[in-house]
Amino acid sequence: MQVAPSGPALGAQVALDLRQALRSREVMGALQDALLAHHVLFVRDQRLTAGEFQELGERFGALETHPAYPTVPGAAGVQVLESTPEEPSRIEAWHSDMTFRETPPAVTLLYAQVVPEVGGDTLWASAHAAYEGLSPAVRTLVDGLRAVHDFAHGFRESLEAPGGYERLRTAVAENPPVTHPVVRTHPASGAKSLYVNPLFTTRLEALTRSESDALLAFLCREITTDEYTVRLSWRPGTIAIWDNRTTQHKPVNDYFPQHRRMYRVTVAGERPR
């Protein structure tokens, strides 16, 4: 297994046949170590079935479902994220996956099925590098803070689209706002990362509205500093695997009206602390 870093802050290209890797406990262990070291891994030219992709996700832990996305028939853990001219993707902001949950997913795997000729890249940022880059005084300030995360905030454009509220009403009711620490510690590596994002985080607790707005905007901007980011151009068969506890990502929505279809599995995580 060859691992070539994509950037100093995060990311690595891994040369590997994941179908073969599924049969080797040793290789799967090395893949998990690489994820811990690089936070996001890119594996090109894979030919897994949806079932095998689900199996790959299960090697990282128990799988989760998502309240807003359909799944592949016969592979209930595999969500389909599809953007078409009729139903374009509405998620454009930087985020870590599903921070609106009490226990957001630890790891996400995305597998490109249909990708645009050009465009439709994804960016990742190291929320760990962003935390480490803060001055000690600001680190002390944010270390003790908590933030509110809200599903309805993240999906507000979908909710406002025709039929959106009817489709997502149950999901909104089942996902009331939650709070998480602004700085979370990775349970395996001990790495500290900023854990607020513009998609789901609505405010910082214990601050005034204007303090919260200003500090939240500053922290979100810090995370996405160019030096902390890496960018992937998808090809059919590309698989990305990332740690939601130390990274954020942003889909680049520059390909309308082209078709994009991805498989996703999300691996259950712990309560952020």
Residue 248 Cβ, how far from Fe ion at the closest point, in Å? 9
- Give kind and range of the element (H or E) at residue 53: helix 50-58
Q: 69 or 165: whose CB is closer to Fe ion?
A: 69
**73 upstream amide cis, omega within 30 of 0:** no
Q: Please give the Cα distance from 249 to 122 (Å, whole number).
A: 7
Tell me the sheet residues that pair with 149: 178, 201
Distances from the Cα of 237 to the Cα of 48, 49, 103, 169, angstroms: 8, 10, 30, 34
Q: 97 or 243: whose CB is closer to Fe ion?
A: 97
Q: Does 64 bind Fe ion (CB under 5 A)?
A: no
Q: 10 or 145: whose CB is closer to Fe ion?
A: 10
Residue 75 Cβ, how far from Fe ion at the closest point, in Å? 19
Residue 104 Cβ, how far from Fe ion at the closest point, in Å? 11
Residue 82 Cβ, how far from Fe ion at the closest point, in Å? 14
Q: Please give the Cα distance from 255 to 239 (Å, whole number).
A: 20
Q: Please give the Cα distance from 140 to 41 (Å, whole number).
A: 31
Q: Which of residues 93-152 bind Fe ion (CB under 5 A)?
A: 97
Q: 158 or 212: whose CB is closer to Fe ion?
A: 158
Q: Are 66 and 98 in contact (CB under 8 A)?
A: yes
Binding footprint of Fe ion, residue count (CB under 5 A)? 1
Measured over the CA atoms of residue 241, residue 73, residue 65 and residue 223, the dihedral's sign is positive
Distances from the Cα of 164 to the Cα of 28, 156, 264, angstroms: 40, 9, 22
Residues catalogued as catalytic: 95, 97, 249, 264
Q: Concatenated DSSP letters for 112-170?
A: EEE--SS---EEEEEHHHHHHTS-HHHHHHHHT-EEEE-HHHHTHHHHHSTTHHHHHHH
| String marking each residue 74-103 x if it binds Fe ion according to CB under 5 A | -----------------------x------
Q: 97 or 222: whose CB is closer to Fe ion?
A: 97
- Closest residue to bound Fe ion by CB: 97
Residue 129 Cβ, how far from Fe ion at the closest point, in Å? 19
Q: 107 or 215: whose CB is closer to Fe ion?
A: 107
Residue 125 Cβ, how far from Fe ion at the closest point, in Å? 12
**For residue 9, what are its two tokens?**
């802050």
Which residues lie near Fe ion (CB under 5 A)?
Answer: 97
